Amino acid sequence: MQTALTISELRDAYSGGLSPVQAARDVLARRAIADPAIWIEPVPDDVVLARAARLAEGPKDLPLYGIPFAVKDNIDVAGMSTSAGCPAFAYRADESATVVRRLEAAGALLVGKTNLDQFATGLVGTRSPYGAPRSVFSAAHVSGGSSSGSAIAVAAGLASFSLGTDTAGSGRVPAGFNNIVGVKPTRGLISAAGVVPACRSLDCVSVFANDATEGMAVLAVAQGFDAADPYSRRPQARTLPPRFRFGVLAAKDQAFDHADGPALYAAAIARLASLGGVAVEIDYAPFNEVALLLYQGPWVAERLAAIKSFAARHADAMDPTVRRIILGARDYSAVDAFEGQYRLQALKQMTDTAWGTMDLLLLPTTPGHPTVAAVAADPIGANARLGLYTNFVNFLDCCAIAAPAGFKADGLPFGVTLIAPAFHDDALAVLAGRFATETAP
């Protein structure tokens, strides 16, 4: 009998006498028959079992005692390679990222490093020489990215939680495509020390979990100020009013790629309203223009800054689509960068007007869910489409939680994202948890 891998169920099993060694054996048995494209470097079986045995001999009251987790392979783990999805870039890490050290100190059990869109550049999950994981609901459809393997590891029952990263939606899109929760915290709450940057000023480490409560339990351990990360920030507790206002899209801005979208989104709006919310229709235009800046503005140059030495010497080793995007940064000047900053500041003022009428946003996580074939036919356009409702979030310093919100007629999941200004993480998680309870049959 396989061990259930939600954090709550594992905790109950451990209280009932289950050993972390047995739980680890179950995880390894599942991993052996899972899609190999989920992983770039699994932790060897004997190492996992030895670490589980040490946990079994130690204190049992650690907050994440014996909880198996996976890490996106742009995050350092001591003694393992960090490839960022590019074999020619890979290096052996001497020290684990701060967030990994925090989680392991809390008793979490690392089982492997997961696949991703190369250099965390993509929302599709297909831009990797290590293979392309698929949605757990359809082998014909993309997993979502860039944190593809991390999301699938949780959705397929190979880990209780996982770490991803999120710049444009990489911690939310794959959650939506696989019916799990993606916690994109306020930038800087989780240290990015030991993480290969995509856009350093916008990046954050994200958490995939089975529900919002479990995701926030991980965040509670993972977060904390770290002087080694120049963008690290200390938490600030901010609340939402009992009678909260939430922004929703006007019909003209509901750009769904499937017929079920309007009804499923309307049902999610009604569900949130039943929890004490008041829906407020917003003008999405300035949010959309902010979103476009990420790849159609000078911020793409920040992706080149992250790997400029490697790109100068090994451009031919990069995924062709990723290379085209990142090397396109050479077309931008310092003048373009400043003009982009000026435009972003003007757009922030416009979105501030919208925030004056609402406490949070409820948006579809994506307009649709493309097939692998559709992405292959239009790799840039299909990817850009997926960022329609996600790309603005880090620009505007928001936190977000992607949550399941039903299923379409084709059997694929539909997801929504709750978005609030920085430091509303805990309050947003409570609301997301209540929303999920209402969503459950």
List, by residue number, the catalytic residues: 72, 146, 170
Helix residue ranges, H only, 116-181: 148-155, 173-178
CB 196 within 8 A of CB 84: yes
DSSP-assigned beta bridge partners for residue 278: 245
Q: Which residue has the tokens 């594992």?
A: 10
Sheet of 68-72: strand order equals 39-42, 109-114, 68-72, 161-166, 204-209, 181-184, 398-407, 413-421, 360-364, 245-249, 278-282
Closest among 298, 220, 283, 224 to 253, alpha carbons compared = 283
C-alpha dihedral sign at 329, 335, 338, 343: negative
Q: Which residue has the tokens 């990797």?
A: 128
Half-sphere exposure of 294 (CA within 13 A, CB side): 31
Q: Detail the DSSP E strand segments found in 214-365.
A: 245-249, 278-282, 360-364
Rounded CA Rg of the chain: 20
Q: Which residue has the tokens 């996106």?
A: 72
3-state class (DSSP) for residue 432: helix
DSSP-assigned beta bridge partners for residue 246: 279, 360
Q: Which residue has the tokens 């982009």?
A: 340
C-alpha dihedral sign at 281, 282, 285, 291: negative
344: left (phi over 0), alpha (psi -120 to 50) or beta: alpha
Q: Which residue has the tokens 């997993």?
A: 143
